[in-house]
Structure formats: structure tokens, C-alpha cells
Amino acid sequence: MNQDSENFDSLRQLLALKRHEVPPPGYFDRLPRDVMARIKAGDAGNELGAEISWFRRFLNVFDVKPIFAGAFGTAVCAFLISGVITAERTPAFAAGTITPMDPMANVPATGATTADTQFGVSSNTLASDGSLFDNLPSLRTTPVSYFPGAN
């Protein structure tokens, strides 16, 4: 089957009309100037800032080869789906046995009473005593006597 010549002669004659459609006079003199002006304006912008960002270059690749955009989208979807599946299959997480991290869990249980440990606040303390300031040492003030002529 010769598809090029199969009853399409009249149509091809008509399509020849499209070749006679021309832009306004002088258009092809202006176009390169406009393109160059926009490129220069873009270059000036880049000099003020920096080079084209990595993200911009990344998007440029998609313009040239759209298949990369599809591949990238597929990879992101696959990553998300595998993440969700993995999370659902993890038994500890599913059973709810993983508890939120206790910030004081790793504090060594030594008997030393340094200032740091004295004022450390654990969630247990809060739960039992109910007040954040109950464990603070009471402030006692000792009056100071000053007699200038004593010495």
C-alpha cells in the first residue's frame, strides 16, 4: 500500500497553500535581534545573581528529553509507594510498640548530684509531682551584717 499517493493528491495540493503563508515583512530580521536581546538580558540577570541554578538545569533536561520527565516521575512514585509498603509491613510500627523518644532516656543513672542533673526535668517527675518547680532547692537568704569599724 503506497500511503503517500493513496487518494491524497488533492489534499496535498491544498496543503501546498500552507507554504505560502508568510509572516509580516521584516519579521525574520527582527526575530534574531529579539532572541539575542532576551538572551543578553538573561545573561545580565545571571551575572547579578549566580549561574543558572541546578534545579533550572534539571528542568532544562526535561524540555530536551521529555522521557526523562516520565522516568523521573515514575521513580518518585515507586519510591513513595515502596516507602508506604515498607512502613506498613514493619511489625513494631504497626503494633504501636514504638514509643516517642524520651529525651532523658540516655541520662546515666549515677548518684552524682551535679547541678545539671539536679535541675534536669524528666517526664516522670512531672507526672508524679505535677509541678515543674517542686524539686527546686528552696532559696534561703542569709542577712549579711556589715560594720565598717569592726576591723
Partner 1 sequence: MREATLTMTEPISGNAGDVVNRPAPAHADPIAIEEAELVQRARKGDLAAYDQIVRRYQERVYATVYHMTSNHEDANDLTQEAFIKGYQALKSFKGGSSFYTWVYRIAVNKTINFLKQRKNRAQMSLNDLDFNAEHDPDLVALISDKNPRREAGLTELQEKLNEGMQKLSEPHRLVVTLHDVQGLSHEEIAKIMGCNIGTVRSRLFYARQQLQGFLADYLK
Q: Which of residues 29-58 bind partner 1 (CB under 8 A)?
A: 31-32, 34-36, 38-40, 42, 52, 57
The distance of closest approach from Cβ of residue 41 to partner 1 in the complex, given in angstroms and rounded to an integer, is: 10
**Cβ proximity of 87 and 93 under 8 Å:** yes
Selected range binding partner 1 among 17-25, 83-91, 108-116, 136-144, rule: CB under 8 A: 17-25
Distance CA(124)–CA(151), nearest Å, equals: 53
Residue list 82-121, contact with partner 1 (CB under 8 A): none
Q: Which residues of 24-54 are buried (b: 16+ CB within 10 A; e: fewer)?
A: eeeeeeeeeeeeeeeeeeeeeeeeeeeeeee
Residues that bind partner 1 (CB under 8 A): 3, 6-8, 10-25, 27-28, 31-32, 34-36, 38-40, 42, 52, 57, 60-61, 63-64, 66-67
